[in-house]
Structure 1
């Protein structure tokens, strides 16, 4: 039952009961946008190229090997941002570089990886869209709690800030 608050003689405002207001607040919290979704993504600008080469892994067998000479080997890497929803995964060879180029998210340094030769494609979903070639990923860089470098990109709707994180494997 609604409660009525009198504002002035002859004027009244209906106010929902406390439970309804609490439910409405909960629904807005669950469905509303993240208030931090448009904040800048922290960017590393003080790192060196020599920190990037190595073997990096993620879920479902994803492996990216970045060689010191700029070559790259990729195995089962998903597309970034909206391309992730297409369901394809790429394997092959290509090139990488550390860039200072500003992207849509932030300044700082980024790893740009371009797959130029495809050796295989797989599908994470069925049906999957055809995988493109060439394809370029732009990885953001951050450090974990121990200071180790992580490569990541956003997948799905970029505003959701869902991160696809690659962690360095032990040599």
Structure 2
């Protein structure tokens, strides 16, 4: 029997945690989205790199700039970077209203979790969830896993 390298075990654990994060929201509708959360200790450059990558992938799924995005007000580096990235892709961003059935508003929640030297990031809408692990450096962040995509309905 061959010994399994520690690195493989860590990658498997990170993938398992990512699956758990992605499976946490199974209800369709804005009430089912998880509460947005990002640790304040993620640096501005890392937050910008992660938000930029995740929003570009979100745009591939919902179309660039075709909706108004509703996010919770957040002063963390990631919250600010996410709002800037959304606006950079042409989305109108609102933080202070309930979704209105008459308007094309997409509720967006996010979770950013440090885990074993990496950061796991997740964006959730009622129809799409994206997740990815990142390696964070002083100058930014780079993807450390493939993109995980879950589409509903």
TM-score by length of 1: 0.30
Higher relative contact order (CA 8 A, sep 6+): 2
